[in-house]
Amino acid sequence: MQNFLQTFFNTKVMAQYLPDILSGMLVAIWIGLAVVVAGIAGGLALACLRTYRIRACNVFIICFADIFRALPPLVLILLLYFGLPGAGIRLSGPMVLFIVLALTLAAFAEEIFWAGFASIEKGQWEAGISTGLGFSRTLIYVALPQAVRLAMPPLVNRVLAITKMTALGSVIGVSEILSAATTAQSFSGSATPLSMAAIAYLILFLPLVFVARMVERRQDMRRGR
C-alpha cells in the first residue's frame, strides 16, 4: 500500500509539479474553448448552408464532413505538424492542435445539426414561407432554434469526446496537461505526475459529463410530455 501511494501519490513530487500541471490545464482550457467555439460555429454554418440545397455546395459539405469524421485526428495532427514545414508552412503546435480539432468537431457538429434540420416537419418551413418570411428568415427564426434544441444531447457528447483530445497535443510538444505530466514523469521518475494529470482531466471534464446528463434528461422529459 505504502509502495502504491509512493508511486502514484508522492506528495513531494505533487507539490513540485503542481504549477506545471496547472499551467497545462490552462492551456487545455484555452485550446478546448477555442475548438468548441470554432467547431460548433463552423458546423452550424455548414448545416445552415446545406439547407439551401445548392448542389455544388452540398457535395463539398458532405465530402468535408465524411473525410473529417473518418480521419483519426492524430494522423492529421502529425501530417500538419511534421508535413507542412516541408511545404514551407510552419504552424505552431497549439495552432495545429486547434485547427485539427476544430475541423473535426465542425464535421461532426454539421452532421448533428443537419440531422436536427432533417427531423423538422416540412410544414414548419411552409408556415414560415407562406407568411412572407422567405427562406432565410424561416431558417433563422423557425427551423434553426428547433434544430439546435434537437441537436443538444448528441452535440454535448461530441464536444466532450473532442475536447478530451487536446491530450493529443502532447505528441507535438503542446504544453497541455498530459505533456506537462509526461515531462515531469521523466524528470522525477515517478508516476505521480501522471495521476495528477488524470485528476486534472477529471476536474475539467466531470462537470461537462454532468451537463451532458442534464441536457439528455431535459430532452427526455420534453419528449415524454
Partner 1 sequence: MNNRPMLEIVSLQKRFGENLILRDINLKVARGELVFIIGPSGSGKSTMLRCCNRLEEPSEGDIILDGRNIMSGTSRDLDQMRLKVGMVFQGFHLYPHMSVLKNVTLAQRKALGRSADEANARAMDMLDRVGLAEKANAMPSELSGGQQQRVAIARSLALDPLVMLFDEPTSALDPELVGSVLAVMKDLKSKGMTMLVVSHEMEFARETADRVVFMDGGVIVEEGAPEEIFGAPKADRTRAFLSRVRR
Cα distance between residue 180 and residue 201, in whole Å: 13
Pick 66 or 220: Cβ nearer partner 1: 220
Q: Cβ 112 to partner 1, closest distance in Å?
A: 18
Residue 92 is a binding residue for partner 1 (CB under 8 A): no
Cα distance between residue 136 and residue 173, in whole Å: 44
Pick 102 or 151: Cβ nearer partner 1: 151
Residue 218 is a binding residue for partner 1 (CB under 8 A): no
Q: Which of 131, 186, 207, 210 binds partner 1 (CB under 8 A)?
A: 131
Residue 225 is a binding residue for partner 1 (CB under 8 A): yes
Cα distance between residue 84 and residue 65, in whole Å: 22
Q: Cβ 121 to partner 1, closest distance in Å?
A: 7
Pick 26 or 140: Cβ nearer partner 1: 140
Binding mask 134-163 toward partner 1 (x if CB under 8 A, else -) reads x--x---xx--xx--x--------------
Binding-site ranges for partner 1 (CB under 8 A):
121, 123-124, 126-134, 137, 141-142, 145-146, 149, 225
